[in-house]
Structure 1
């Protein structure tokens, strides 16, 4: 049974969270806070042509001069960002509103950073061709940013969002080269009605990405009682809500609140490193990789570390009773697999067209280096060989 949540506002490190069905109507309150008269909306072409999303947004922005940049893609390429910067310079808006999935929100934030940067984008590309990455350093004030998520990936409260300078195919390193700056959004608008406009498959893929933020915060060595409590509450909420969110308004509202909770002080670690290993080598949605590898990665973690398994089981609503530690771990893996299957997501890496088994060794080496030592579960020492075995198990 899902919980019921009333609309609320919350100040999270200087970012205003607006939650509630119809909360998009309140976006003008945030714009008025920094005396905006004009807005550049940043989104992808699907969202930009979706009247169920854009009509409520335009209605809420009726008192403002609005222009739309609808060219974002999951690739988050530097070429897209360059086009966005050119558009920003032409329109000269008082604020940026990013709406849609994680890639659109990331482009919106990075647009604000790179438009104010002391270097132009050609400098970043030139460095990437030499195998180096530069970070943008703003030389002028950032344009205020408001973001409006419509998926569960958990990009709303982020202050980053990497931009691809070179693809894996063009990079001298063999994997994509990316960079990002820091831009904390002024406001994040969480409106369940807008999530309901997102296609089922897109929403399902994003759900596993968001779900894993809760899993990883629970076992991260850098976590603490506060972050673990929030992550556990959020994890349990999304676990109950995700399977029926698309078809039930109450479940959708719970799913959105749960996705907010798992983002608070999130401590992403091993599972997200696996996602990065693939997304840095292929143009692929991380949520699909998360769906396939998460049960295998959790088994790998639990074989080598406690991984805070009993707290995780409790958050997921698993009655561990007299189970021993091995049985608790197995029950968690089975429950995560059941959630994945309820969302009709891929179950094997071989079912994802872009993935080649011959790349597993270099992907494993990337994953090993990408796991942050300060956030890995206590007792886990990742190795390339062990990670590669996980990938073959997931094949």
Structure 2
């Protein structure tokens, strides 16, 4: 059983700052029908950015807009290359668009944020995966093998339309890694020193929602109610990320993603157990809540291993080699991560060069994290 003892998580913290994010959320099956009316609150000339899998939803928006869609971009790339942002900005500017509508996963949202940041246009997001980035003011792009991120109020969507029917065709395997990506946002929100009591409550509920939904998606991929529960978890994960900060897990994902162009949500899935294993000894109370929210029992000191085992049961990848990292990449990745992170004060437990080497090597091999 999970140990019980008093903690700051259970009794609350007396030192925090909490600022409520301003996004409007419209949630429910069939809500794609209101995407245009939500966008029309900010203008009448629309630019739609969508990923290829969201073609039919983008067609629906174009039809509802009755000629209001003046530009449409249907190609996106993971990690948001700077060149893609530059090209999209030129298209949207040339169309004299007043509002951006993005439909799809994190790559579509990321590209739209890049355009919003450059042109200061309002953005309405319609997510079709569980990325959670639609709830944040965080932007990111890659250039020359490096990923750069930041925060800007102009990139946070004014409205987010969550329609679980749009996620029905998301393949179960991708649903799992996308869902674990959302869980990772909540896990880091639990640890972040900037988190408030409200953040921790939302993060724990986000983990519970997603962890209960994922097995159901594997059993019944087209169950709208189960998909809705997963999308609820994604919403809470994005909200939690917005009102906190990222730590070791996300930093490593950004470094490896930018350097090696590894797939985004599988990368988050692989690295999460190893990051938790490193952090757990310094954040036992928070880790206990994470395990309870996942429905896992066992010692907090073995949290990384317990999460790794759960990922295996879900059929998720558990090694960096499995998602495309080559053995020839290992040493340069360790060097890059050490230069960027070693000896940086990453709460709740800093990590040095030897610790980074151990995390990356173990994650490359896919070994169960040690207790």
Asked whether the 8 Å contact 1:210–1:262 carries over to 2, the reply is yes
Cα distance in 2 between the residues matched to 1:203 and 1:215: 18
C-alpha distance 224-371 of structure 1, shift in aligned 2 (>3 A): farther
1:312 corresponds, among 286, 290, 293, to 290
Specify which of 52, 55, 62 is matched with residue 58 of structure 1: 62
- 1:334 shift after superposition: 4.5
Q: Normalization by structure 2: what TM-score?
A: 0.82
Alignment match, 1:299? 277
Task: Tell me the distance in 1 between the aligned counterparts of 2:58 and 2:108.
Answer: 14
How many pairs does the alignment contain? Answer: 335
Residue aligning to 1:254: 229
Call closer, same or farther: CA 1:372–1:199 in 2, change over 3 Å.
farther
Within the alignment, does 1:38 sit opposite 2:9 as a pair?
no
* Whole-angstrom distance in 2 between the partners of 1:272 and 1:83: 27
Separation of aligned partners in 2, 1:258 and 1:178 = 26
| Residue 350, structure 1, aligned to residue 321, structure 2 | yes
Deviates more, 1:287-296 or 1:383-392: 287-296
**How far apart are 1:293 and its partner, in Å?**
2.1
Q: 1:273 to 1:370 in 2, by over 3 A?
A: farther
Aligned to 2:75: 71
Native 8 Å contact 2:210 2:234 kept in 1 = yes
Match in the other structure for 1:222: 194
SS in 1 for 2:337: helix
Residue 16 of structure 1 is aligned with which of 24, 41, 46?
24
Change (3 A) 1:302 1:160: closer
- Whether the 8 Å CA contact 2:199–2:240 is kept in 1: the answer is yes
Query: Which residue pairs with 1:336 in the alignment?
Result: 307
Query: Does the residue aligned with 1:14 lie in a helix, a strand or coil?
Result: coil
* Alpha-carbon contact 1:215-1:231 (below 8 Å) kept: yes
Cα 1:261–1:181 change in 2 (3 A) is closer
Paired residues of 1:270 and 1:371 also in contact (CA < 8 A): no
Which of 359, 367, 371 does residue 390 from structure 1 map onto?
Answer: 359
1:108 Cα shift?
0.8
User: Which secondary structure state, in structure 2, belongs to the residue aligned with residue 98 of structure 1?
Assistant: strand
Q: CA deviation at 1:360?
A: 3.7
TM-score of the pair, normalised by structure 1:
0.78
| Cα separation, partners in 2 of 1:82 and 1:25, compared to 1, 3 Å | same
Kindly state the Cα deviation for residue 382 of structure 1 after the two structures are TM-superposed. 1.3
Choose 301-310 or 186-195, whichever is displaced more. Answer: 301-310
Q: For the Cα contact (< 8 Å) 1:276–1:367, is it kept in 2?
A: no
Q: Establish whether residue 359 from structure 1 lines up as the match of residue 363 from structure 2.
A: no
The separation in 1 between residues aligned to 2:99 and 2:343, in whole angstroms, is: 34
CA contact (8 A) 1:153 1:207 kept: yes
Using the alignment, how far apart are the partners of 2:262 and 2:164 within structure 1?
26
Give, in whole Å, the separation in 1 of the partners of 2:337 and 2:86. Answer: 32
Task: Write the mapping of 1:1-395 to structure 2, written as runs, cut at 5 A.
Answer: 13-34=21-42, 36-44=43-51, 46-47=52-53, 50-51=55-56, 53-62=57-66, 64-115=68-119, 142-164=120-142, 166-168=143-145, 176=146, 178=148, 182=152, 183=154, 184-245=156-217, 246-266=221-241, 267=244, 268-306=246-284, 308-318=286-296, 327-330=299-302, 332-355=303-326, 356-366=329-339, 368=341, 373=346, 376-377=347-348, 380-394=349-363, 395=365
**Deviation digits for residues 182-213 of structure 1 (CA, Å, limit 9, x no counterpart):** 22211111111112233334333322211111
Change over 3 Å in CA distance of 1:293–1:61 after alignment to 2: same
Q: Provide runs of 4+ in structure 1 moved above 4 Å.
A: 369-372
Shift of residue 149, structure 1, vs aligned partner:
1.0
1:99 deviates by: 1.1
Which range is displaced more, 153-162 or 311-320?
Answer: 311-320
